[in-house]
C-alpha cells in the first residue's frame, strides 16, 4: 500500500526538505512510483533535485479550477495508484496554511475513506531551536491530530 507523507514544520532550516528528499530517494531506489510535491511559494528545496520531478502546488490559490490549487493537490493524491508513494514537502512558509487546509477541507477523513494511508512528519531538533520545533509539533497535533482520534 502506498503512503502519502506530509513533511511539516513551522520552523525553517530544520531539515524538513532534507528528510523528504531522503525518503524520496529510498522509494526511487526501490523502483516505487513516487510523486514529489512542494507547497513552498518560493519553490522549496525539494524542487532542486531534477530526478524527483517535483510538482509545485499553490496552496494559497482559492480557485479550485486552477490545476495548481490545494484542492487539485488533494484530488491528485486521492487518484494516485494504491502502490504509489507521495512525498509532500511543506516548508515553514506554507506550514500553517497546509495544516489549516488539511483540517478545513476534511482531506484526512476523505483520504481514509478512499483507503489511503497518510503520515504527518514533523522534525524536532535539539539545541536552541528545540522549543520552537516542539511548539510546531504541538501546533500540528492541535490543528490536525484530533482528526485521527
CA 115 centroid distance within chain: 18
Burial 102-139 (b: 16+ CB within 10 A, else e): bbeeebbeebeeeebebebbbbeeeeebeebbeebbeb
pLDDT tens digits, one per residue of 102-126: 888 888 889 988 889 999 999 999 9
Contact status, residue 95 vs residue 46, Cβ threshold 8 Å: no
Q: Which of 74, 92, 68, 64 is closest to 4 using CA atoms?
A: 74
Task: List CB contacts of 61: < 8 A, sequence separation 6 or more.
Answer: 68, 69, 70
What pLDDT shows up at residue 86? 96
pLDDT tens digits, one per residue of 39-95: 987 766 888 888 899 998 888 877 878 888 888 899 999 999 889 999 999 988 888
Q: Give pTM, 2 decimals.
A: 0.90
- What are the sequence ranges of the domains in the chain? 3-148
In whole angstroms, give the CA distance from residue 77 to residue 80: 5
Radius of gyration over every alpha carbon of the chain, rounded to an integer in angstroms? 14
Architecture of 3-148 per CATH? 3-Layer(aba) Sandwich (3.40)
SS3 label, residue 74: helix
Amino acid at each position: 500500500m502506498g503512503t502519502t507523507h506530509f513533511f511539516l514544520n513551522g520552523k525553517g532550516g530544520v531539515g524538513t526538505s532534507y528528510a523528504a528528499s531522503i525518503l524520496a530517494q529510498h522509494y526511487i531506489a526501490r523502483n516505487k512510483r513516487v510523486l514529489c510535491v512542494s507547497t513552498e511559494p518560493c519553490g522549496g528545496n525539494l524542487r532542486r533535485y531534477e530526478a524527483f520531478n517535483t510538482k509545485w502546488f499553490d496552496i494559497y490559490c482559492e480557485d479550485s479550477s486552477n490545476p495548481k490549487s490545494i484542492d487539485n493537490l488533494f484530488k491528485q493524491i486521492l487518484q494516485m495508484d494504491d502502490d504509489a508513494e507521495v512525498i509532500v514537502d511543506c516548508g515553514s512558509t506554507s506550514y500553517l496554511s497546509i495544516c489549516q487546509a488539511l483540517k478545513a477541507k476534511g482531506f484526512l477523513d476523505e483520504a481514509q475513506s478512499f483507503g489511503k494511508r497518510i503520515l504527518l512528519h514533523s522534525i524536532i531538533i535539539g539545541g536552541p531551536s528545540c522549543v520552537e520545533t516542539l511548539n510546531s509539533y504541538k501546533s500540528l497535533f492541535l490543528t490536525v491530530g484530533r482528526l485521527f482520534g
